[in-house]
Structure 1
């Protein structure tokens, strides 16, 4: 058996075994970074499709240790130095990347050369860095020179982007067994939905069923829903998490009223919170006549989200956008963003900044003229028009 095949098998699910042949069920990430002051905080960070989880520990005698268990091995994690304690020159990353699996992983190096470190014990990390070098670093350096020299030549820039896109697709098609492929396909901004769908079909079944393979499949399906977003069409029935953390379909929530304003917002968004007094005015005037509001948080910090809801004392429905529908389906580029739907789930008005797919995404001024819009649909709260 070739060494490359053996490495792929290890990565794709057979897993790492201990010296006695037993499969390890936990991981130990140990580091020794020479020159790092005692007390420096180190983080082990995982970005789960926009929801960030992290662990922290402190360096003692230039050493640190993380212990735990991953249910689905082969996910990207970042080992990050706290920059409030140690400072790096501009352009130097404060983190290095590992593909975490249930194995003993060793990270060794010097603070002066961080994040250039030696990582042992994780075959998936070795493959990741080799793949990253071939598919990202080397092509990036090649095309960066072209971009710098031809920055004022739009045709040359477009040609360079097209060449890299073709190189990327060809590499993925000829190296479908690389474990990191689904992640790269998913994160590519140069590939269309159709191209990503074709690339996914070309992956072996074990890659399709891997952590990033499942994520890629779900995101392709979600983005495809975005192609149906226009006035008069049914709202894509995406899932959100309610205040108790339970998933619920959006169309189930909007059936509770004749008209529902879907409000994409976040606790830190100043203009979002500035709109709330006007939303309360409209809600109080027309709620008894069949108007409701569903505020969907685009930020996944549960504690700060609930704190903001309590501070604003909003009486309507709230949910959290863990699926990133605001980006993947509606292509929203800034918040607040508003969609007005009827009880059938039909989209009847938009008011939200969108990206390149933004056809039919603007219309009635829901932010400024919300009262007038709802008044025209439902009349005053005494029932008169």
Structure 2
């Protein structure tokens, strides 16, 4: 009897250990991506690429056989990845025109990928080509993202329609023959601002309700690393706090904290940062010596090689003449690396207002202090020299001036 009891106990212990082992194995289960692609794709290469803010790294690859492919592995955290299908013919150098890309959230689960090579999104956008995203199932994060996109689709459709109107009815006539319909431009951009505000409210609500998800985490991260940081320091700290309980023990959260600290330098309400720049005479001067007190000062970052920057200059010339004595001062700051290119462009464009250049171009303090990741970039300082408005170009700038000065 005692021996039977001992055997029973031994069996129970064994079963308990087996359950733990199986649970452990299940917990360490990685991902599988079973792909089906229609069209002429035999022996095409398939790459799995990790996308983050530092680099884009290929982590796995395979070939398509009979219209199918399989990728297997394991990720430490769910994240945004890209499947690249490369149909470059044998013997030719890899070329983007032969590549199709599909972005999605990868996690450790069984995932299916279905698409038609004739309609999968290309490496570059082509308005003449029908584009149908791949159907990707099995990732909870991707499903959450898809559901969010469905919710905001009507608002994005309205925004796209307004953007098209802005291009067709305001921007194109201005570029073609100099016809500037200021009132129409302001009307369209005011509508755009209202829709953008609704979209922001929905995104913030999504983040608060899904703090555990990598999708919400990435939304916050994008806010902090975008060209413009349209939040105050208090709002930035609040968003970090939303994610703290779910993410603070991970390396990702430490990265987010660093992004948040960088974003705070150019947050709304922060005082401008003084830097040294070259003037027309080649002298280093402090930015603070050229900011006019008691006025709205706009820091307008540009370059001679930037087409949209050059296209905006006639508008800036008109604004300068109309508002220079009404309380608005423009300071244009070039990120040209070559002095002669800068000076040639200023002469060609007749830029008579304050002109400066970062001596280190795009690698100088304009980037490290003001977070200028691309041009054109515009930042308006209020009368107390604090960051007040961003992205003030075209009719957006006209609307601001009409509201604040006229």
C-alpha separation between the residues in 2 aligned to 1:231 and 1:109? 51
Question: What residue in structure 1 maps to residue 141 of structure 2?
Answer: 124
SS in 2 for 1:22: helix
Instruction: Name the Cα RMSD after superposition.
Output: 4.2
C-alpha separation between the residues in 2 aligned to 1:186 and 1:160? 27
Q: Deviations over 1:199-227 (max 9, x none)?
A: 44445721666776654432121122456
Structure 1 residue runs of 5 or longer lacking an equivalent are 1-17, 233-270, 275-294, 299-320, 335-352, 361-385
Question: What residue in structure 1 maps to residue 164 of structure 2?
Answer: 148
Query: TM-score w.r.t. structure 1 length?
Result: 0.50
Q: Deviations over 1:289-309 (max 9, x none)?
A: xxxxxx9x97xxxxxxxxxxx
Q: Is 1:356 aligned to 2:378, yes or no?
A: yes
Matching residue within 94, 103, 116 for 1:110:
116
SS in 2 for 1:132: helix
Question: What residue in structure 1 maps to residue 101 of structure 2?
Answer: 95
Q: Could you tell me whether the CA contact under 8 Å between 1:193 and 1:220 is conserved in 2?
A: no
Alpha-carbon shift at residue 80 of structure 1 (Å): 1.8
Alpha carbons of structure 1 residues 27 and 198: separation in structure 2 relative to 1, 3 Å: same
Alpha-carbon shift at residue 131 of structure 1 (Å): 1.6
More helix by share: 2
Alpha-carbon shift at residue 82 of structure 1 (Å): 1.9
Q: Could you tell me whether the CA contact under 8 Å between 2:114 and 2:135 is conserved in 1?
A: yes
Q: Could you tell me whether the CA contact under 8 Å between 1:26 and 1:70 is conserved in 2?
A: yes
Question: What residue in structure 1 maps to residue 259 of structure 2?
Answer: 219
Which residues of 2 match residues 1-385 of structure 1 at below 5 A? 22-54=26-58, 55-71=60-76, 73-82=77-86, 84=88, 94-114=100-120, 115-135=132-152, 137-151=153-167, 152=170, 153-175=184-206, 176-178=208-210, 179=213, 180-188=215-223, 192-194=230-232, 195-203=235-243, 205-206=245-246, 215-225=255-265, 229-231=273-275, 327=367, 329-333=369-373, 355-357=377-379
SS in 1 for 2:118: helix
C-alpha separation between the residues in 2 aligned to 1:57 and 1:78? 14
Structure 2 residue runs of 5 or longer lacking an equivalent are 1-21, 91-96, 121-131, 171-183, 277-335, 340-359, 386-406
SS in 2 for 1:149: helix
Q: Could you tell me whether the CA contact under 8 Å between 1:330 and 1:354 is conserved in 2?
A: no
Q: Could you tell me whether the CA contact under 8 Å between 2:52 and 2:80 is conserved in 1?
A: no
Q: Could you tell me whether the CA contact under 8 Å between 1:331 and 1:357 is conserved in 2?
A: no
SS in 2 for 1:45: strand
Query: TM-score w.r.t. structure 2 length?
Result: 0.48
Q: Deviations over 1:176-210 (max 9, x none)?
A: 13322232233355751324444444457216667
Alpha carbons of structure 1 residues 354 and 157: separation in structure 2 relative to 1, 3 Å: closer
Pick 1 or 2: higher relative contact order, CA cutoff 8 A, min separation 6: 1
